[in-house]
């Protein structure tokens, strides 16, 4: 079967899964609104307004989500929060993907003692409460964006490494790898050129499951005041701000909390759905 027809078959199966289609569409819609919203709205994310503090959501004047305790427009701030949270989640998932794929592929391809030691290290790292180390990093080295990406990526590569290793173990027995080895291609080249491209399908699915986890970590940090810094914002810091205002103005909490929950739910459904499609054994029917 050629690559294009395999992709076509996968595409048809994807379109047939209601969960996948619905959650992907919702995510797409949210991302689109988050990107276009700030362009349409007349307000900026950091302009404060003393006489419009804690205004309730209204259609008039494009105050769709109301304002926060400093009179800043919540719709624009929420769109920015979604942008930041998605960006952090996607980039740090890619970081974890790169580390995980390289580590897992090397362990799986090398096999034997190297594999055993490398996987033992992964097992050991599994037992560590990484989130506290991320906080430690944030405390010591300030809260810059790059650090958030790397720190969150560094937590989630473990799962990826395990999955990739398992796949590599079976891939390396295949004829095309044997052929490459036979004509003298070096191990590192085999891993990069022949093994990695074939891991793509599985890896894509697990990235969809990593994204919500990374998002959760970022929001957790921002909620504690250790993530993205004012006047920039993310969904976690918006929820945190909402907690302080929830008695007078519940919408300041409810709107970003709901959006964050919906995004997380959709990613989880999407990842689960994709996994079931690619790996029918895991499906429950």
Q: Applying CB under 8 A, which residues contact other proteins? A: 120, 124, 127-129, 131-133, 135-142, 212, 216, 219-220, 223-226, 236, 239-240, 242-243, 246-247, 250, 253-254, 257, 260-261, 264-265, 268-269
| Residue 225 or 231 with smaller CB distance to other proteins | 225
Q: Tell me if residue 67 falls in helix, strand or coil.
A: strand
| Residue 169 or 185 with smaller CB distance to other proteins | 169
Least separation, in Å, of the C-beta of 7 and other proteins? 29
| Residue 38 or 208 with smaller CB distance to other proteins | 208
Q: How far is the CA of 16 from the CAs of 2, 5, 23, 29, 273, in angstroms?
A: 22, 17, 13, 20, 11
| Residue 190 or 221 with smaller CB distance to other proteins | 221
Nearest CA to 131 out of 211, 221, 206, 238 is that of 221
Least separation, in Å, of the C-beta of 50 and other proteins? 26
**8 A C-beta contact, residue 221 and residue 233:** no
Element (DSSP H or E) covering residue 192: none
| Residue 57 or 225 with smaller CB distance to other proteins | 225
**8 A C-beta contact, residue 60 and residue 53:** no
Least separation, in Å, of the C-beta of 65 and other proteins? 17
Element (DSSP H or E) covering residue 139: helix 130-141
Tokens coding 80: 């920015």
| Residue 32 or 243 with smaller CB distance to other proteins | 243
Least separation, in Å, of the C-beta of 182 and other proteins? 33
Least separation, in Å, of the C-beta of 174 and other proteins? 26
Tokens coding 38: 């700030």
Gyration radius from the chain CA atoms: 22
Least separation, in Å, of the C-beta of 269 and other proteins? 8
Identify the sign of the CA torsion 195, 203, 169, 1.
Answer: negative
């Amino acid at each position: 079967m050629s690559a294009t027809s395999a992709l076509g078959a996968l595409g048809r199966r994807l379109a047939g899964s209601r969960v996948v289609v619905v959650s992907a569409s919702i995510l797409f819609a949210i991302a689109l609104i988050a990107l276009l919203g700030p362009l349409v709205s007349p307000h900026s994310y950091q302009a404060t307004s003393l006489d419009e503090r804690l205004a309730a959501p209204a259609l008039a004047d494009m105050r769709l989500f109301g304002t926060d305790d400093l009179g800043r427009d919540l719709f624009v701030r929420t769109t920015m929060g979604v942008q930041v949270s998605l960006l952090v989640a996607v980039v740090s998932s890619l970081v974890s993907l790169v580390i995980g794929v390289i580590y897992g592929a090397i362990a799986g391809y090398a096999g034997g003692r190297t594999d055993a030691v490398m996987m033992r290290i992964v097992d050991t790292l599994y037992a560590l409460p990484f989130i506290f180390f991320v906080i430690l990093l944030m405390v010591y080295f300030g809260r810059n964006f790059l650090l958030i990406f790397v720190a969150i990526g560094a937590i989630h590569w473990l799962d990826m490494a395990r999955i990739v290793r398992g796949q590599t173990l079976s891939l390396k027995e295949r004829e095309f790898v044997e052929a490459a080895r036979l004509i003298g291609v070096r191990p590192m080249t085999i891993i990069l050129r022949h093994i990695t491209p074939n891991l793509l399908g599985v890896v894509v699915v697990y990235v969809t499951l990593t994204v919500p986890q990374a998002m959760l970590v970022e929001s957790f940090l921002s909620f504690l005041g250790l993530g993205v810094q004012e006047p920039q914002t993310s969904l976690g810091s918006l929820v945190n701000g909402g907690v302080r205002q929830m008695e007078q103005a519940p919408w300041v909490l409810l709107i970003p909390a709901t959006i964050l929950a919906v995004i997380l739910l959709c990613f989880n459904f999407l990842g689960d759905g994709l996994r079931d499609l690619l790996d029918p054994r895991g499906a429950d029917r």
